[in-house]
Amino acid sequence: MQFIDLAAQYQHLKDKIDARIQAVLDHGHYIMGPEVAELEDKLAEYVGVKHAITCANGTDALTLVMMALGIKQGDAVFCPTFTFFATAEVVAYEGATPVFVDSNEDTFNICPVDLEKQIQKVIAEGKLKPTAIIAVDLFGLPANYPEIKRIADQYGLKLVEDAAQGFGGEINGKRAGSFGDIATTSFFPAKPLGCYGDGGAIFTDNDDYAELIKSLRVHGKGKDKYDNIRIGMNSRLDTIQAAVLLEKLAAFPQELINRNIAAEKYHSELKSQYKTPVVPEGYVSSWAQYTLVAEDRAAEMEKYKAQGVPTMVYYGTCMHQQTVFKALGYQEGDFPVAESLSKSVFSLPMHGYLNIKKV
């Protein structure tokens, strides 16, 4: 059994993907070719936003957003401590300060109660300017955007959705990537919608953000590539990856159904043994991972290994515990839920072609 079976997906889509790649090889426009524009149109339509701007990877997508929002030294950007490193890395890269927030114990996502507490703490200290929130759609489930948006509006903060794991998720029919002021995703192969290399995208309804990001992703260019009007970066999605993603996006709705069937099977078999994932009413998860909570994680993972079932840990170390952020002065116990999750969660195989036997 594969943890994420990309080979099974490729065999299912082989003829269509091969034809798409061959078309790129035939026309030879390997960078920003016609498939890139086609993909951006279809991504925007799927997510339900005016603009989808592709780029080289998910981290670049977040970096471009930080640049577009003008995040800088002295700014505080609030983000979960229980997530992948890139979410806070891009904040620090702009010279700003990531301010970490605890998790909700049921959804694993950023906790709105602790978010407001951390915002008020920064305001009281008066050293940093609260500027933005980055919420992460962890393991496929959108964060609590109705409540997070209320908090963002109350304190005048920009809201960024990191939908790298959440693409395909929903809240009351509204899809991941359409929440907040601007959103990002990753097309890393292991993501719900992944390519065969690196790739990313930014989603927004804001025309000004869209035009700015289109410039920033190509060295800050103006009317042509020899008139650079701002400092940008080189972050373009290559055409072959766009071609692959076009066929994967066409198959994605059925794969999403399959993921939810697999998740329900897991839940019915495992709810008596573990704390299983919670999907609130009105929410849909894209199940980037199916994640359990166990008192003795190592022992449980060994049991699955003995049965030939691979498992993974996301994430074994919280952000505030990592060496590079020690200078921020956080202590053990500052984020009790996230710290507990980092010691107890593990994930089972999940993909759109999973055949689950009794687990």
Residue-level pLDDT at 357? 65
Residue-level pLDDT at 223? 85
Which pLDDT band holds residue 358 (cuts at 50, 70, 90)?
low
What are the Cα distances from residue 247, in Å, to 18, 58, 231, 293, 322?
10, 20, 34, 35, 38
259-317 confidence digits (pLDDT tens): 999 999 999 999 999 999 999 999 999 999 999 999 999 999 999 999 999 999 999 99
Q: What is the CA radius of gyration of the chain?
A: 20
Distance separating alpha carbons of residues 38 and 43, to the nearest angstrom:
9
Residue pair 32/243 in contact (Cβ under 8 Å)? The answer is: no
- pTM (2 decimals)? 0.96
Asked if domains 6-102+110-247 and 252-348 share a fold, the reply is: no
Q: What are the phi and psi torsion angles at 211 (to 5°)?
A: -65, -40
Instruction: Write down the CATH superfamily of domain 252-348.
Output: Aspartate Aminotransferase, domain 1 (3.90.1150.10)
Mean pLDDT on 125-137:
98
Match 């400092």 to its residue by tokens.
Answer: 231
Distance separating alpha carbons of residues 72 and 95, to the nearest angstrom:
5
pLDDT higher than 90, residue 233 = yes
Residue-level pLDDT at 359? 53
34-51 confidence digits (pLDDT tens): 999 999 999 999 999 999
Distance separating alpha carbons of residues 178 and 192, to the nearest angstrom:
17
Q: Which CATH number fits domain 6-102+110-247: 3.40.640.10, 3.40.50.300, 3.40.1190.20, 3.90.1300.10?
A: 3.40.640.10
Percentage of the residues of the chain whose pLDDT score is greater than 70: 99
305-330 confidence digits (pLDDT tens): 999 999 999 999 999 999 999 999 99
Distance separating alpha carbons of residues 86 and 235, to the nearest angstrom:
16
Q: What is the DSSP secondary structure assignment for residue 217, as one 8-state letter?
A: T
Q: Domain residues of the chain, as ranges?
A: 6-102+110-247, 252-348
